[in-house]
């Protein structure tokens, strides 16, 4: 990934936080059939040096056959993103030498995934994924709420994926390369446009966090 120094992020705790906040990632693999990509919700586990990603996919998904061959995979976690208008830059009024751009947060994780068939592993992963995303519901749903036979049938239709992270890198392109007056203008413009998540990123990186 192209990462100019101003946008580079290598702190593992920051990368992990972004992955946890945006768990629906793009799983990319390549093989004899060419490139394949699917959106998959992942859970992140603090195993090994950089963590382990776990997920599940439909057994009928063509990418499963590619994963079974032991091909390396790229997992892309997309965080906040927003268009940046040059009209928000203070320097537009000073000299006009400004152009539009796009701000974004992205984390890329690489490793060699394993396909897992074990039903107990699959149920544990489904329960973990469900618990994470149901915790804010007024009446959280759990796997045990569904009939056991129904869940057993559902588990037959999926396979697990486990990917120890061998390499991880992040890019926070959030106007750090702009002078302070422009960053303030971008933050204000984003807030007025309702892009609060990106405005918060611009504000945070402007203070060196």
- The domain that holds 47 is classified in CATH as 2.30.110.10
Residue 30: inside a domain: yes
Q: Is residue 78 part of a domain?
A: yes
- Helical (H) or strand (E) element with 66: helix 62-68
d(C-alpha 109, C-alpha 50), whole Å:
9
Report which of 122, 102, 28 is spatially closest to residue 71, judged by C-alpha positions: 28
Residues 6+ apart with CB under 8 A from 104: 78, 79, 80, 81, 82, 171, 173, 174
Tens place of pLDDT for every residue, the chain, 209 residues?
Answer: 999 999 999 999 999 999 999 999 999 999 988 999 999 999 999 998 999 999 999 999 999 999 999 999 999 999 999 999 999 999 988 898 889 999 999 999 999 999 999 999 999 999 999 999 999 999 999 999 999 999 999 999 999 999 999 999 999 999 999 999 999 999 999 999 999 999 999 999 875 55
Q: 18 by DSSP, 3-state: which?
A: helix
Query: Model-level pTM?
Result: 0.93
Classify residue 90: in a domain, yes or no: no
Residue 143 lies in a domain: yes
Distance CA 46, CA 159 (A): 22
Is 27 contained in some domain?
yes
Looking at the domain assignment, is residue 190 inside a domain? Answer: no
Residue 35: per-residue pLDDT? 97
* The predicted structure's pLDDT at residue 38: 98
> Containing domain of residue 63, as a range?
5-82+102-174
* Domains of the chain: total: 1
- Is the residue at 58 inside a domain? yes
The contacts of residue 63 (CB under 8 Å, 6+ apart) are 27, 29, 36, 37, 38, 57
């Amino acid at each position: 990934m192209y990462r100019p120094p101003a946008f580079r992020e290598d702190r593992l705790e920051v990368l992990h936080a972004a992955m946890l906040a945006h768990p629906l990632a793009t799983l990319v693999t390549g093989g004899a059939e060419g490139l394949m990509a699917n959106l998959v919700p992942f859970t992140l586990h603090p195993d090994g040096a950089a963590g382990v990603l776990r997920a599940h996919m439909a057994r009928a998904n063509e990418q499963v056959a590619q994963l079974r061959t032991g091909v390396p995979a790229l997992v892309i976690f997309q965080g906040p993103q927003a268009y940046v208008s040059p009209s928000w830059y203070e320097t537009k009024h000073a000299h006009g030498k400004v152009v539009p751009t796009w701000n974004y947060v992205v984390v890329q994780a690489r490793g060699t995934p394993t396909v897992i068939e074990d039903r107990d592993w699959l149920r544990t992963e489904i329960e973990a994924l469900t618990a994470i995303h149901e915790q804010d519901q007024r009446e959280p749903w759990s796997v045990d709420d569904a009939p056991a036979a129904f869940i057993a049938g559902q588990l037959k239709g999926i396979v697990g994926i486990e990917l120890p992270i061998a390499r991880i890198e992040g890019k926070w392109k959030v106007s750090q390369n702009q002078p302070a007056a422009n960053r303030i203008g971008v933050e204000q413009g984003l807030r007025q446009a309702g892009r609060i998540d990106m405005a918060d990123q611009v504000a945070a990186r402007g203070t060196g966090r």
